[in-house]
Chains A and B, each alone.
Chain A
Amino acid sequence: MILDGKIPSGPLHEKWDKRLAEMKLVNPANKRKHRIIVIGTGLAGASAAASLGELGYTVDVFCFQDSPRRAHSISAQGGINAAKNYPNDGDSIERLFYDTIKGGDFRSREANVYRLAQLSANIIDQCVAQGVPFARDYAGYLTTRSFGGAQVSRTFYARGQTGQQLLLGAYGALSRQIRAGTVTLHPRTEMLDLVIVDGHAKGITVRDLVSGRIDSYAADAVCLASGGYANVFFLTTNSVMSGVTATYRAYKKGAFFANPCFTQIHPTCIPVTGEHQAKLTLMSESLRNDGRVWVPKIKGDKRPANDIPESERDYYLERKYPAFGNLAARDVTSRATKEVCDEGRGVGPGGRGVYLDLGGAIGRLGENTIRERYGNLFEMYERITAEDAYQQPMRIYPAPHYAMGGLWVDYNLESNVRGLFVLGEANFSDHGANRLGASALMQGLADGYFIIPYTIANYLADTKPGVVAPDAPEFKKSCEEVEAFTKRLLAIKGKKTAHEFHRELGKLMWNNVGMSRSEASLKEALKRIPEIRAEFWKNVTVPGSGRELNQELEKAGRVADFLEFAELLTHDALQRDESCGAHFRVEHQTAEGEALRDDKHFSYVSAWEHKGVDKEPELHKEPLVFEHAHLAVRSYK
Chain B
Amino acid sequence: MNLTLYVWRQKSSKDPGRLVQYEAKDISSDMSFLEMLDVVNEGLIVKGEEPIAFDSDCREGICGMCGQVVNGVPHGPRKKTTLCQLHMRHFKDNDTLYIEPFRAKAFPVIKDLIVDRGAFDKIIQSGGYISVHTGGVPDGNTLLIPKHDADIAMDAAECIGCGACVAACPNGSAMLFTAAKVSHLAMLPQGKIEAARRVCAMTEEMLAQGFGNCSNHYECEAVCPKGIKVKFIAKLNREFIKAQMTGS
Which A residues fall within an 8 A CB radius of B? 47, 50-51, 54, 65-72, 74-75, 84, 86, 122, 124-131, 133-142, 158-159, 161, 164-165, 168, 171-173, 175-176, 178-179, 185, 187, 210, 237, 239-241, 273-274, 276-279, 281-282, 379-380, 383-384, 386, 449-450, 453, 495-497, 499-500, 541, 543-544, 548-549, 551-552
- A133 and B138: CB pair below 8 A? no
Measured between beta carbons, the chain B residues less than 8 angstroms from A164 are 62, 158, 160
B97 close to A (CB within 8 Å): no
**What does the 1/0 interface line of B25-38 toward A look like (CB < 8 Å)?**
00010111011001
- A168 and B157: CB pair below 8 A? yes
Q: Given contacts A449-B134, A543-B51, are A172 and B128 in contact (CB under 8 A)?
A: yes
Measured between beta carbons, the chain A residues less than 8 angstroms from B214 are none
- A185 and B121: CB pair below 8 A? yes
- B51 and A125: CB pair below 8 A? no
Give complex CA distance A477, B126 in Å. 39
Q: Which of B49, B62, B138 contacts A161 (CB 8 A)?
A: B62
Give complex CA distance A245, B118 in Å. 25
Give complex CA distance A133, B42 in Å. 42
- A274 and B30: CB pair below 8 A? yes
Q: Given contacts A239-B59, A274-B28, A278-B34, are A86 and B87 in contact (CB under 8 A)?
A: no
- A175 and B150: CB pair below 8 A? no
- Give the top 10 A-B pairs by smallest Cβ distance, nearest first: A172-B129, A140-B144, A129-B137, A128-B140, A133-B154, A136-B150, A133-B153, A51-B134, A179-B125, A239-B57
Min CB gap B54→A, angstroms: 8
Q: Which of A66, A136, A141, A237 contacts B55 (CB 8 A)?
A: A66
Q: Given contacts A128-B190, A178-B125, are A277 and B133 in contact (CB under 8 A)?
A: no
Measured between beta carbons, the chain A residues less than 8 angstroms from B85 are 380, 383-384
**Most interface-central of B59, B80, B114, B137 (chain A CB within 10 A):** B59
Min CB gap B99→A, angstroms: 16
Q: Which of B11, B58, B86, B139 contacts A239 (CB 8 A)?
A: B58
Q: Given contacts A70-B64, A128-B143, are A175 and B45 in contact (CB under 8 A)?
A: no
- B150 and A173: CB pair below 8 A? no
Which B residues fall within an 8 A CB radius of A? 11-12, 28, 30-32, 34-35, 38-39, 42, 44-46, 48-51, 53, 55-65, 78, 80-81, 85-87, 89, 110-111, 114, 116-118, 120-121, 124-135, 137-141, 143-147, 150, 153-154, 157-158, 160-161, 184-185, 188, 190-191
**Which residue on B lies nearest to A139, using beta carbons?**
B144
Give complex CA distance A278, B158 in Å. 25
Give complex CA distance A635, B198 in Å. 52
Min CB gap A499→B, angstroms: 6
- A543 and B50: CB pair below 8 A? yes
Measured between beta carbons, the chain A residues less than 8 angstroms from B190 are 128-131
Min CB gap B25→A, angstroms: 12
**Which residue on A lies nearest to B57, using beta carbons?**
A239
Give complex CA distance A95, B42 in Å. 51
Give complex CA distance A131, B149 in Å. 12
- A179 and B126: CB pair below 8 A? yes
Give complex CA distance A141, B129 in Å. 22
- A54 and B121: CB pair below 8 A? no
Measured between beta carbons, the chain A residues less than 8 angstroms from B185 are 131
* A to B CB contacts below 8 Å, 14 in the list: A47-B134, A51-B134, A71-B63, A72-B63, A125-B140, A136-B150, A140-B150, A173-B134, A179-B127, A276-B38, A278-B32, A380-B60, A386-B87, A386-B89
Give complex CA distance A548, B60 in Å. 28
- A75 and B87: CB pair below 8 A? no
Measured between beta carbons, the chain B residues less than 8 angstroms from A134 are 140, 150
Q: Which of A140, A172, A240, A552 contacts B57 (CB 8 A)?
A: A240
Give complex CA distance A66, B80 in Å. 22
Measured between beta carbons, the chain B residues less than 8 angstroms from A240 are 56-59
**Most interface-central of B39, B147, B188 (chain A CB within 10 A):** B147
Q: Given contacts A172-B128, A172-B129, are A126 and B135 in contact (CB under 8 A)?
A: yes
- B87 and A383: CB pair below 8 A? yes
- A499 and B42: CB pair below 8 A? yes
- A142 and B141: CB pair below 8 A? yes
Q: Given contacts A136-B150, A453-B134, are A69 and B45 in contact (CB under 8 A)?
A: no
Min CB gap A565→B, angstroms: 20
- A67 and B188: CB pair below 8 A? no
- A74 and B118: CB pair below 8 A? no
Q: Given contacts A75-B58, A276-B31, A543-B50, are A66 and B135 in contact (CB under 8 A)?
A: no
Measured between beta carbons, the chain B residues less than 8 angstroms from A51 are 134
Q: Which of A50, A124, A274, A549 contacts B110 (CB 8 A)?
A: A549
- A124 and B35: CB pair below 8 A? no
